[in-house]
Amino acid sequence: MTDISELIDFLSCRTPDAWVSAALGNQKTLLIDHAMNELKAGQSAMTLIARNPTKLDLLNKMSRLAREELRHFEQVLAILKNRKIAYQPFKPSRYAGLMAKHIRKEQLPALVDTLIVGAIIEARSCERFHTLAPHLDSELNKFYCSLLKSEARHYQDYLSLALTNSKEPIDDRVAFFLSVEKDAILSEDRVFRLHSGVPPQ
């Protein structure tokens, strides 16, 4: 399995056992939401490309990322089809929205914050795939392990782009968004999703 120790150290907390238990009992929802998240990740990368047409490093990294995310979307759809699970998008969790509402409004700070949030989301996805994989059937175990390398690289790409596009150190903003993310992961969540918090007791 891919070594993601650096990425785990980056995050402020690990996924709670209660979420893992909920995921194992809600694999249909997990897979559908996973597909939705891969699609949204590809769309977000394309939006960054459209809004930053002169930033060549960003264009190259986001183009590759978008292609990979859409390929992952196709792969999850194939798994859903094989398992006779209908793909029907549903309401996302509060997770990304809790971070997004703190993104600054000015153009460059907004870009930097968006990239930081993207890095955190990719890191959390990778950490959850890594955490779940040993508990899943052989097909899903193999698939989730295959995602680790690309997801870890996506986190690094987002973070490096945030650093190169900022006019000031980003440590404080990273720490701030990590604290918001930690609260989202460790607090109670009424719905189960790939990035939801702790299930109700």
Positive or negative, the CA dihedral 66, 15, 101, 179 is: negative
Closest to 177 (Cα-Cα) out of 117, 121, 115: 117
Positive or negative, the CA dihedral 110, 111, 116, 121 is: positive
pLDDT digit string (tens) for 12-52?
999 999 999 999 999 999 999 999 999 999 999 999 999 99
Amino acid 1: pLDDT: 72
**1 close to 148: Cβ distance less than 8 angstroms:** yes
**Tokens coding 188:** 């109670």
Q: How many residues does the chain have?
A: 201
The CATH code of domain 18-186 reads 1.20.1260.10
Report how far residue 90's alpha carbon sits from residue 54's, in angstroms, rounded to the nearest whole number: 35
Amino acid 178: pLDDT: 98
When pLDDT is cut at 50, 70 and 90, the band that residue 159 belongs to is very high
pLDDT digit string (tens) for 112-136?
999 999 999 999 999 999 999 999 9
Amino acid 101: pLDDT: 97
CB-count exposure of residue 141 (10 Å: 0-12, 13-18, 19+): middle
Amino acid 72: pLDDT: 98
pTM comes to 0.97
